[in-house]
Amino acid sequence: MRVIGGKFRSRVLQSSRGLATRPTSDRLRETLFNVLALRIEGARFVDLYAGSGAVGIEALSRGAQFCWFAEKAPAAVTAIRTNVAALKLQGGYAIEDRSTGRLLQGMVKNLHVADIVFLDPPYEAAEDYSTTLSFLAQNQATLLAEGAVVIAEHSRKKPLSESYGNLVRTRVLEQGDAALSFYSLSSLSPA
């Protein structure tokens, strides 16, 4: 697995072995960042269920101001730490190794606002999609910047709901067995 674009382009990333995480394919990451191209420079990015951290690292590589990583699988947390160390990142990121919920609650408490939120829970953990997207919707006033976009990677065969509170799906991109659902606040324009 490699960083696709930006200042760390072509750098090799470590990933954890086993079934605890499922890396986002290079092709799907490229598609995601092609869509986000005009939003990424200076963005505050959140990579939930981060696995190796490849998506968040891609965001930092392409000019994101800050990235919060949330991952609780020990091998995956080690991979994230190894990857940011190999890239010699001195700051601009934080890693929450207990849970996605802890990270989001901490962001609300500390008034950290996100421009882009990406989530990729294990496909079989269907309740994590609903729980996380509902939390984002309920706390959107303190957690999501104006014009924020939330993207969920999921199985193409298991579509997500059209909305979670006032987070409304604006776009779906399918690639192979995976899909990306883009959500925005209902009063804002699509991604």
Q: With a cut of 60, say whether residue 21 has pLDDT above it.
A: no
Q: With the C-alpha atoms ordered 50, 31, 157, 23, is the resulting torsion angle positive or negative?
A: negative
pLDDT(19) > 50: no
pLDDT in tens, 52-108: 999 999 999 999 999 999 999 999 999 999 999 999 999 999 999 999 999 999 999
Q: Are strands 144-155 and 178-185 parallel, antiparallel or unpaired?
A: antiparallel
State the pLDDT confidence band at 190, using cuts at 50, 70 and 90: very low
Three state DSSP letters for 14-64? CCCCCCCCCCCCHHHHHHHHHHHCCCCCCCEEEEECCCCCHHHHHHHHCCC
Give the per-residue pLDDT at 16.
Answer: 75
Is the confidence at residue 46, as pLDDT, over 90? yes
Confidence of residue 123 (pLDDT cuts 50, 70, 90): confident
pLDDT averaged over every residue in the chain = 93
% of residues, the chain, pLDDT over 70? 94
Per-domain boundaries in the chain:
26-157+174-185
pLDDT of 188 higher than 80: no
pLDDT score for 125:
86
The whole-number pLDDT of residue 18 equals 56
What architecture is the 26-157+174-185 domain classified under in CATH? 3-Layer(aba) Sandwich (3.40)
| Range 163-187 average pLDDT | 94
Please give the average per-residue pLDDT across 136-154, as a whole number: 97
Say if CB 114 and CB 44 are below 8 A apart: yes
| 182 contacts 155 by C-beta, under 8 angstroms | no
Residue with tokens 């930006």: 6
Does residue 28 surpass a pLDDT of 50? yes
Q: Which residues of 21-42 are buried (b: 16+ CB within 10 A; e: fewer)?
A: bbbbbeebbebbbebbeebbee
- Please tell me the distance from the alpha carbon of residue 138 to that of residue 32, in angstroms, as a whole number: 25
